[in-house]
Every structure is written in structure tokens, then in C-alpha cells.
Amino acid sequence: MAEWVESRRGWMLIDFPVDSGLAFLSAAANAGPRDAFYVRMTHWAAPDAWDVKIKPMDAAMFREDQPSHFGLRLLQVSFPAYDLPELTRRLHEHAAGRTVPPAPADWSTVGRWPPGRPGRFNPGDAGGGAAGWSGTGGRAWA
């Protein structure tokens, strides 16, 4: 485990029940602009992207006399420590009931450009819908 801990030096790690973790992510996203912080927290390919995982857990880990029974109980969020001040600010804004209206984000760090720029992957372009996928399961390419 020491090797894993060392690999996460400079990163924060928070465990949540799944629903609480999703609420945490929504609060942080809605309480600030769709800036580089937002891109790191929402896109896996961004530089220093947040690592968000839902982990199945076996109830028998805590009651070893019981048969195994897995469920989705844990959402782990790991992010660079330098994001902590902005995260704290956003959570204070959320607690005060203040949100930022939705706006376009700068996705260029993950290879996604504004709609209409030819030859680049743009989720939502080419009839793929907001998720960027076509009805046949393939990627939508601009």
C-alpha cells in the first residue's frame, strides 16, 4: 500500500456514499465557472484530471460471517491538492445558495474544439446529441 500512497502524493482523496459523491460533484461544478478547474473535474483526459470512481463493495468485508454481496456504495474522488482552495470556495458558494449560470467551457486541452471547427471531435456535432454519440453506438465526428 505504501507504493500506492506514494503515487498519490500531492493529491486529495475523498470517499462518499455514491449519491452524496454525485451531489458533491454537482455542487462544485455549479458554483463556479466552466473554466480549467471544471474541465479537470469533468474530463478524464484533461491535464491533472480528477479521478472519480465508483467502487463496488462486498458487505462481507464488514461481516465476515455473511456471504458475499456486492453493491455500489462508494464513490471516490481524487484531485490535485492545488484545487483545494477553489473547491473550498465553490462549496462555500454552493452552501450560500449561489450558482453560476451554465456557459461554454474551453475544452481545447482535451482535444475538443468549439462547434463548427472542421475535422475535430465535437460531442454534440454531427447529429450525435449532447453526449456525442450516434444512434448506432459510434462516435460523432465533426
What does the pLDDT average to over 87-113? Answer: 93
Please tell me the pTM assigned to this model.
0.74
What does the pLDDT average to over 44-65? Answer: 93
Task: Read off the DSSP letter of residue 75.
Answer: E
DSSP string, 8-69: TTTEEEEEEEHHHHHHHHHHHHHTS-SSHHHHHHH-TTSTT--EEEEEEEEGGGT-TTSPP-
Q: How far apart are CA 42 and CA 50, in angstroms?
A: 7
What pLDDT score does 6 carry? 87
At 77 the three-state DSSP class reads: strand
- The pLDDT tens digits for 9-53 are 899 999 999 999 999 999 999 999 999 999 999 999 999 999 999
What does the pLDDT average to over 54-58? Answer: 93
Q: How far apart are CA 118 and CA 28, in angstroms?
A: 32
